[in-house]
């Protein structure tokens, strides 16, 4: 089983969007029994809160559910539980490494480093552009799933 955790600053915009998109991709490929997915924040600002209305609205446009999703903060136990800890931007990656005490572990990745884009996923909380975020998250999630299928599921 491969365990994937998406992480952003508040766990209300980018990481829950990535969790929902990735979960949907996994479901469509009938891989729910071999891939699990979750999301978390580096901050404690939105613990227990649902995703941002903009995230929910954008995902509804694509018939992707956010049911049951609530914000939570990253903790040290996540490092042991998850095989992939995916940050949305360079700042998230730095904070994930600091919080988990793992300065340079290969399981900690920036989402779009798996694509040709190799850029940060902009935070729509500040930009207001949930479509751009959705498009980039989807690109990154597709690349991550392809990577997992080759490296983990082909064994």
Per-residue pLDDT at 6 exceeds 80 = yes
pLDDT on residue 155: 63
Q: What is the pLDDT of residues 67-86, one digit of tens each?
A: 999 999 999 999 999 999 99
Q: What is the CATH number of domain 2-151?
A: 3.40.50.2300
In angstroms, how far is CA 81 from the centroid of its own chain? 15
pLDDT for the residue numbered 152? 82
- The model's confidence at residue 4, banded by pLDDT at 50, 70 and 90, is very high
The catalytic position among 8, 13, 38, 72 is 8
Phi-psi region of 52 (alpha: psi -120 to 50; beta: other; left: phi over 0): beta
Query: Per residue in 108-122, is it b (16+ CB within 10 Å) or e — as a string?
Result: bbbbbbbeeeeebbb
Which residue is catalytic, options 23, 78, 123, 141? 123
Catalytic annotation present for 13:
no
Q: Catalytic residue at 14?
A: yes
Selected catalytic residue, list 13, 14, 38, 78: 14
Mean pLDDT for the stretch of residues 120-149 = 97
Q: Per-residue pLDDT averaged across 99-109, rounded?
A: 95
Instruction: Tell me what percent of the chain is helix, strand and coil, each rounded to the nearest 5.
Output: 45, 15, 40
Q: What DSSP character marks residue 73? A: B
What is the C-alpha separation between 108 and 104, in angstroms, rounded?
Answer: 8
At residue 54, the pLDDT reads 98
Residues 44/47/50/53 CA torsion (nearest 10 deg): -20
Is the confidence at residue 154, as pLDDT, over 90?
no
pLDDT tens digits along 29-45: 999 999 999 999 999 99
Q: What value does the mean pLDDT of the chain take?
A: 96
pTM check: above 0.85: yes
How many Cβ atoms from other residues are within 10 Å of residue 98's Cβ? 11
Active site residue 123: yes
Q: Where are the domains of the chain?
A: 2-151
Q: Count how many residues are written for the chain.
A: 155
């Amino acid at each position: 089983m491969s365990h994937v955790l998406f992480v952003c600053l508040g766990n209300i915009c980018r990481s829950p969007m990535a969790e929902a998109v990735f979960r949907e991709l996994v479901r469509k490929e009938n891989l729910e029994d071999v891939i699990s997915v979750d999301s978390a924040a580096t901050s404690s600002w939105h613990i227990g809160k649902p995703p941002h209305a903009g995230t929910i609205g954008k995902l509804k446009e694509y018939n992707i559910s956010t049911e049951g999703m609530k914000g939570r903060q990253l903790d040290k136990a996540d490092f042991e539980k998850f095989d992939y800890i995916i940050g949305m931007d360079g700042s998230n990656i730095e904070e994930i490494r600091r919080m988990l005490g793992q300065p340079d572990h290969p399981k900690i990745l920036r989402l779009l480093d798996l694509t040709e884009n190799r850029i940060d996923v902009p935070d729509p909380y500040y930009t207001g552009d949930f479509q751009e975020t959705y498009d980039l998250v989807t690109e990154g999630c597709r690349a991550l799933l392809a990577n997992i299928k080759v490296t983990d599921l082909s064994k």
